[in-house]
Structure formats: C-alpha cells, structure tokens
Amino acid sequence: MTTATSPATAPATLPEPPAGIHVSFPRLLRSEWIKMWSLRSTTWTLAITAVVIVGFVLLVTWGMLDARDVMGDTDPVNPLEAFGAVPYLGPTAVAVLGALVITGEHTTGMIRASFAAAPRRLPVLWAKATVLAVVVFVVTALAVAVAAVLQSLVFGSEGASVDLGEPQVVRALVGNALYVTGIAVLAFGLGVLMRHSAAAITTTLGVLLVLPILFSLIPWKPLQDLTPYLPNVAGSQITLTDEMIEQQASFTGSVVLSAWEGFGVLVAYLVVVLAAGAWLTRRRDA
C-alpha cells in the first residue's frame, strides 16, 4: 500500500514592486506617514506627551507662585523655570514611540515588505526617522506654545508669563521641542540596533533616568566629569537661557556646556547610533 503525499509547497516569497514603479523618497515618506498614524500607540503617546507638558507647566507655575506667597518673597518668579519639567517628562512617552516605529515592524515582519519595496534599505530608515522627527517636533512645539499661552492667561496677572519678545526665552522654548525630538530619534536609533521593543525602550529610559543618577552617586571623579556629556544632560542645555546656564555653573562648580554645545553633543550621539544602525541594517537579514 502506498500513501499519497501532497506536493511540497514552495516557500513564500515577498512580492516584487510592479514594473516601472520607482519607489522615490517622497513616496517612502508618505508610506511611513500612513504607517505611523495607523498605530494607536502613536496617538496615545503623543497625546500623553502634550497633556503632560501643558499640565506640568501650569502645575509648576502655580507651585512657584504659592511658595513665593507662603515665604513672603516679593521677588518675581522666573516663569521659564516652569518649563524645566519638559526635558524630564516629555521624552518618556516619545522614547516608547521612537522605538516602536522600527521595532514594531521587525516584530510583525512588515519590515521585509518595506525592504522589498526599497532594496537599498537605508532610505526606509531615513524616511522613518524623518517622519518621526517632524511629528514629535510639531506636537511638542505646539504643546509648549499652548502651555505658554495658558500660563500667561492664568498667571499673567501675577507676573508669571514668559517674555516671547526675548530671543533667549524663545530659543529655550523651541529648545524643548528640539530636545524631546532628539530623544525620540535616539530611541529610534537604538531600536534599529536592537530590533526588540522592550530592549530598545529599556535602554533608552536607562540612559535618561538611571545613568545620570549612577554617575552622580558613584564617588569617582572621572564619572562625575563625564556627567555633563551624557545625552540627556547635554541635550537639555538647549532648554535653558544663557543666564540660567551661568547660574547652573556657579551652583555646581563643574563643567557646564553652553546651550548649543550641549545640543551638539546630543546630535553627535544620534549620528553615531544611526550610523551604526544603518551599517548593521545593510549587513543583517531583515
């Protein structure tokens, strides 16, 4: 007796792009835009980021004024200090988004289809990073603008509203959006390297939250000297005015980077991480 066997099936292959269609960079941007907004995590993380920024700016402003009244202090408060919570709270949610933009596709296997449509691979990464950076920057900038307007409406009569006619203040406010965007791109780059959501998110949050604490607690001078060059410590300098940086230097007595020097250090981290991710993307299987 013989047993009938079904013919072996050929392994599934990814569809080739239709002949004559060139996948240009603008088309990749449009594709990544659609994919990004098709995820519910995008809406949730951006909404959380905006609400946290606006809410904490108003809460901190109210706390500063209340503390001044309790102490009987007549000196005016610096309303820009209320935005100091943005560099610490804003990046938390966007770090998750930045990692998921790339790691989500590796988890589902969709990245293979993306690379099949753009065999050179790297344009896919740059399109993802561009869409992520633009979206995070616009949302964060709008949240900061709304916070500044509400701060002026609610607390302006008490002298707690930022002076938008001062270039240093405007640069610091825009710097909040630049810094949060930089952290999102950093998380994206780590996601490219690790291809795993939990690993990329954990590493990003560890760099933001754990490393500065460890560097400050361990009584070893080389580590403490390196603290100003950590990604978040250096990058957040762009959110301060020159006067605030000078006060920081006199208080700490250690090396303090200027606003653009600090942001330049963060950009250097981004370049290194993205370059390493691009190199590995070209060499590894999808």
Summarize pLDDT for 123-181 with one digit per residue, the tens: 999 999 999 999 999 999 999 999 999 999 998 888 888 988 899 999 999 999 999 99
Please report whether residue 15 resides in a domain: no
**Residues, the chain, total?**
286
Q: Tell me the per-residue pLDDT of 6-41, one tens digit each, with 9 for 90 and over.
A: 444 444 444 555 555 567 889 999 999 999 998 888
Please report whether residue 198 resides in a domain: yes
Predicted pLDDT of residue 229: 93
Q: Which two tokens stand for residue 269?
A: 């981290």
Predicted pLDDT of residue 276: 96
Please report whether residue 179 resides in a domain: yes
Predicted pLDDT of residue 176: 96
Q: Are 97 and 136 in contact (CB under 8 A)?
A: yes
pLDDT tops 70 at residue 4 = no
Nearest CA to 50 out of 97, 103, 105 is that of 97
What distances in angstroms separate CA 98 from CA 40, 49, 79, 136, one per listed residue? 14, 13, 30, 9
Q: Tell me the per-residue pLDDT of 53-104, one tens digit each, with 9 for 90 and over.
A: 999 999 999 998 888 878 777 677 889 999 988 988 888 889 999 999 999 8
Cα separation, 109 vs 103, in Å, equals 10
pLDDT tops 80 at residue 203 = yes
What confidence tier does 286 reach under pLDDT thresholds 50, 70, 90?
Answer: low
pTM of the model: 0.88
Predicted pLDDT of residue 204: 93
Q: Are 177 and 140 in contact (CB under 8 A)?
A: yes
Please report whether residue 274 resides in a domain: yes
What distances in angstroms separate CA 268 from CA 157, 203, 252, 264, 273, one per listed residue? 42, 18, 25, 6, 9
Please report whether residue 12 resides in a domain: no
Cα separation, 99 vs 186, in Å, equals 9
Residues of 171-183 as b/e, b for ≥16 C-beta within 10 angstroms? bbbbbbbbbbbbb
Structural domains of the chain, count: 1
Please report whether residue 220 resides in a domain: yes
Cα separation, 179 vs 234, in Å, equals 10
Q: Tell me the per-residue pLDDT of 100-129, one tens digit each, with 9 for 90 and over.
A: 999 988 888 888 888 888 888 899 999 999
Q: Which two tokens stand for residue 170?
A: 């405007």
Domain of residue 244 covers 25-283
Cα separation, 208 vs 200, in Å, equals 12
Please report whether residue 153 resides in a domain: yes
